[in-house]
Amino acid sequence: MLRFFILSLFLLLQIEGSKRPNVVLIICDDLNDYVETLGGHPQAKTPHMRRLMERGVSFTQAHCNIPICNPSRASFITGLYPHTSQLYGFEKWRDNEITKNSRTLMDHFRKNGYHTLGTGKIMHNGERQEWAHYQNDADYSPLAHREGKNIAHPDIPAPFRDEFEAIDGSFGPLRKVKAPFSWKSGNWKRMKDYHYESEDDRDLTADELNGKWAVENLEKLATTDKPFLMGVGFIRPHTPLIVPKKYFDLFPLESIELPAIKRGDVKDTFKQTVTSPEDDRSGDRGSKLYDTLIASYGGKRELALKKFIQAYLASVASVDDLIGDILDTIEGSPLNDNTIVILTSDHGWGMGEKDYLYKNSLWQESTRVPLVIAGPNLAQAKTCQKPVSLIDLYPTLIDLCGLSKETKKSAKGRPLDGYSLKPLLLNPTGKWSGPDAVLTAMYKWANYYDPAKQNYALRDQNWRYIRYENGKEELYHVKNDPHEWHNLALKPDHQETLKAYRKTLLAKIPA
């Protein structure tokens, strides 16, 4: 009798397991709101991202919790705010006492009976052991190469190419180059020659290899019963913005539109004062990237920004095609009936607004990210305008997949900080238990750990409040000023609003 009961229970669990939804998590790197329907750039060509939006819910005010790669990914993959883990910079998550004692999203899925597999850039470093199978490490290539050194694209002028070199200083189409130039591929430890003769005779890019791997494995998984979590981490549009020429051809340089930029807008802001005196922009990377780019094109600001934006739009379009291949595979198989697909990014990217060309700011361009969730029994072709953040992804997937809510490995770990988005996935205009304002941090220095000495922003439906570690503040009425052009923090008639946001922030951050 006992044997029969155990067998029956085992079969029941097997049946329940087969009903659990699969999850495909697609993470792009440095992807801001240059996505169709999000309004970031009117010329963005992302039909497949839009297609996913038509299948699910798009969160139009989704924001990261820290706008730079390593801590952002460590945050949403462990479900912990930076001020909870004290991981603000480039410390490895597995060296942090709190994050290493808290389960990553993929490890938690594996512990709950899922097959887990991934490829590309999911976390910034050290993730292979967290998956049942992991294919390719993060690979930023193709990279231009000359005389034993990775360099900027040969078309990039000085001083931009020399100052920022092979990664941040490089953008342009893949093309045939002559000696002493060549192309290299692979991650930093295993570089190899990259073959390029023509558009039709070349090696696949790192992103294309990851897209191909995802498609091939989805085809195999369509014939299995065990639920799975697949992570696909695309590098573009992270620099170097080097992709096949056909994507540049979609955006003729002369037709590129510049984003809405108010000249002199930087004058009432204080981001650069965190690292430099107010009159010195050289210590702030985003300011320096902007200034150096303009100088490299002879002070022709419009031309310089058009060149960079063209490369960024081309890079986004290249990733969109790969996302389309993944969606085609899912939609053309039995997976379509039981697979949740999520698309997001680790943070955004400023494109010259406030004389800034980079991530790692507390303004809209750096914090806003696409977040699309589609799946069985969820709302379709809907938008949700409530401010939400990446910290909410982990609890949402626990809720949608029926997983255990215990995510700590030991007493040294921490419970999840976010809230499930499931109520909003069922009714995007309804209520949920999450906060009204999104909290985003920005580090003072890359490996400086005191939560009370960092920079923070709150963003709700009406306001963005920024407080820098030196006490300087910015306040934007985003409902009336969506470009954040007017800092109201010093205006006498907004002091009560300022006090209210100070109080809200201090209640969230340890003193």
Q: What residue has token string 């930087």? A: 266
Catalytic residue among 64, 69, 384, 401: 69
Q: Which residues, listed in sequence order, are joined to residue 230 by a DSSP beta bridge? A: 24, 117
Catalytic residue among 41, 48, 63, 124: 124
Q: What are phi and psi of 353, to 5 degrees?
A: -60, 140
Question: What is the rounded end-to-end Cα distance, in angstroms, of the chain?
Answer: 60
**Alpha-carbon torsion angle 82, 86, 89, 91, nearest 10:** -130
3-state secondary structure 254-271: HHCCCCCCCCCHHHHCCH
Inter-axis angle of helices 301-331 and 206-221, nearest 10: 20
In a 13 Å sphere around the CA of 480, the CA atoms on its Cβ side amount to: 6
Size of the chain in residues: 511
Q: What residues contact 431, with CB distance under 8 A and at least 6 apart?
A: 423
Helices (H), 249-380: 285-296, 301-331, 364-367
Residue 69 designated active-site? yes
Distance of CA 433 to the CA centre of its chain: 24
Residue 477 designated active-site? no
Q: What residues contact 437, with CB distance under 8 A and at least 6 apart?
A: 387, 458, 459, 460, 504
3-state secondary structure 210-223: HHHHHHHHHHHHCC
User: Using an 8 Å Cβ cutoff, are 390 and 416 in contact?
Assistant: no
Task: Please tell me the distance from the alpha carbon of residue 343 to that of residue 390, in angstroms, as a whole number.
Answer: 11
The catalytic residues are 69, 124
